[in-house]
Structure 1
Amino acid sequence: MFGRKKSVTGDRVAAAPAEPADSAPSTTGPHDRSSVGDVARYYTDLGYGHIDLGSLVIGVPKGRDLNVALDPNGQPEFHVVTSVSRVIPRAFAAPKSAGQWRTMVAGMREQLEAQGAEVTVVDGPWGRELVAAMPGAVFRAIGVDGHRWTAEVRIMATPELAEQAAEEGREVFAHLMINRGDGPMPVSEALPLTIPDEIQQALVKAQSQLAAQQQAQAYQQQMAAGQQGQAAPQVRPQAAQNQAPSSPQAPASTPSPGQAQQQPGSPSRRDAGAMDRLRTSDDL
Structure 2
Amino acid sequence: MFGRKKSVTGDRDAATPGEPTDSAPSTTGPHDRSSVGDVARYYTDLGYGHLDLGSLVIGVPKGRDLNVALDPNGQPEFHVVTTVSRVIPRAFAAPKSAGQWRTMVVAMREQLEGQGAEVTVEDGPWGRELVAAMPGAVFRAIGVDGHRWTAEVRIMATPELAEQAAEEGREVFKHLLVNRGDGPMPVREVLPLTIPDEIQQALVKAQSQLAAQQQAQAYQQQMAAGQQGQGAAQTRPQNPPAPTPGSPAPAPASPAPSSSRNPSREQPQQPDSRPRRDGSAMDRLRSTDDL
TM range (shorter): 0.7 to 0.9
CA–CA separation in structure 2 for the residues paired with 1:281 and 1:56: 22
After superposing the two structures, state which structure 1 stretch, 21-30 or 188-197, moved more. 21-30
Q: In the alignment, which residue of structure 2 is the partner of 1:43? A: 43
Give the superposition deviation at 1:234: 11
Correspondent of 2:282 among 246, 271, 275: 275
**Partner-residue secondary structure (3-state), 1:267:** coil
Give the superposition deviation at 1:148: 0.3
CA–CA separation in structure 2 for the residues paired with 1:194 and 1:238: 37
CA–CA separation in structure 1 for the residues paired with 2:47 and 2:38: 15
Q: In the alignment, which residue of structure 2 is the partner of 1:146? A: 146
**Partner-residue secondary structure (3-state), 1:45:** helix
Judge conservation of contact 2:21–2:36 (CA < 8 Å) in 1: no
Alignment of 1:88-167 (within 5 A): 88-167=88-167
Tell me, which stretches of 5 or more residues in structure 2 are unaligned?
Answer: 1-19, 232-254
Alignment of 1:169-248 (within 5 A): 169-230=169-230, 237=260, 239=262, 241-245=263-267
Q: In the alignment, which residue of structure 1 is the partner of 2:235? A: none
Larger RCO (CA within 8 A; separation ≥ 6): 1
Judge conservation of contact 1:59–1:175 (CA < 8 Å) in 2: yes
Could you say if the C-alpha distance between residues 278 and 60 of structure 1 is closer, same or farther in structure 2, counting changes exceeding 3 Å? Answer: same
For this pair of structures, how many residues does the alignment match?
249
CA–CA separation in structure 1 for the residues paired with 2:272 and 2:88: 16
CA RMSD after TM alignment = 2.4
Judge conservation of contact 1:180–1:191 (CA < 8 Å) in 2: yes
**Partner-residue secondary structure (3-state), 1:69:** strand
Give the superposition deviation at 1:218: 1.6
Judge conservation of contact 1:43–1:59 (CA < 8 Å) in 2: yes
Could you say if the C-alpha distance between residues 133 and 89 of structure 1 is closer, same or farther in structure 2, counting changes exceeding 3 Å? Answer: same
Could you say if the C-alpha distance between residues 78 and 249 of structure 1 is closer, same or farther in structure 2, counting changes exceeding 3 Å? Answer: farther
Give the superposition deviation at 1:26: 1.2
Q: In the alignment, which residue of structure 2 is the partner of 1:254? A: none
CA–CA separation in structure 2 for the residues paired with 1:281 and 1:31: 27
TM-score normalised by L of structure 2: 0.80
Correspondent of 1:266 among 271, 274, 280: 274
Could you say if the C-alpha distance between residues 283 and 37 of structure 1 is closer, same or farther in structure 2, counting changes exceeding 3 Å? Answer: closer
Judge conservation of contact 1:206–1:249 (CA < 8 Å) in 2: no
Give the superposition deviation at 1:278: 2.0
Deviation per residue, 1:30-69 (Å, 9 max, x gap): 0000000000000000000000000000000000000000
**Partner-residue secondary structure (3-state), 1:79:** strand
Judge conservation of contact 1:118–1:134 (CA < 8 Å) in 2: yes
CA–CA separation in structure 2 for the residues paired with 1:51 and 1:268: 23
After superposing the two structures, state which structure 1 stretch, 273-282 or 209-218, moved more. 273-282
Tell me, which stretches of 5 or more residues in structure 1 are unaligned?
Answer: 1-19, 251-262
**Partner-residue secondary structure (3-state), 1:230:** helix
Larger Rg: 2
Alignment of 1:62-81 (within 5 A): 62-81=62-81
CA–CA separation in structure 2 for the residues paired with 1:268 and 1:180: 31
**Partner-residue secondary structure (3-state), 2:175:** coil
| 2:29 corresponds to 1:29 | yes
Deviation per residue, 1:175-234 (Å, 9 max, x gap): 000000000000100000000000000000000010011111222222333344437999
In percent, how many aligned pairs have the same letter?
86
**Partner-residue secondary structure (3-state), 2:43:** helix
After superposing the two structures, state which structure 1 stretch, 218-227 or 198-207, moved more. 218-227
Judge conservation of contact 1:48–1:62 (CA < 8 Å) in 2: yes
CA–CA separation in structure 1 for the residues paired with 2:269 and 2:226: 34
Q: In the alignment, which residue of structure 2 is the partner of 1:85? A: 85
Q: In the alignment, which residue of structure 2 is the partner of 1:60? A: 60
Could you say if the C-alpha distance between residues 207 and 249 of structure 1 is closer, same or farther in structure 2, counting changes exceeding 3 Å? Answer: farther
**Partner-residue secondary structure (3-state), 2:27:** coil
CA–CA separation in structure 2 for the residues paired with 1:223 and 1:268: 30
Give the superposition deviation at 1:274: 1.9
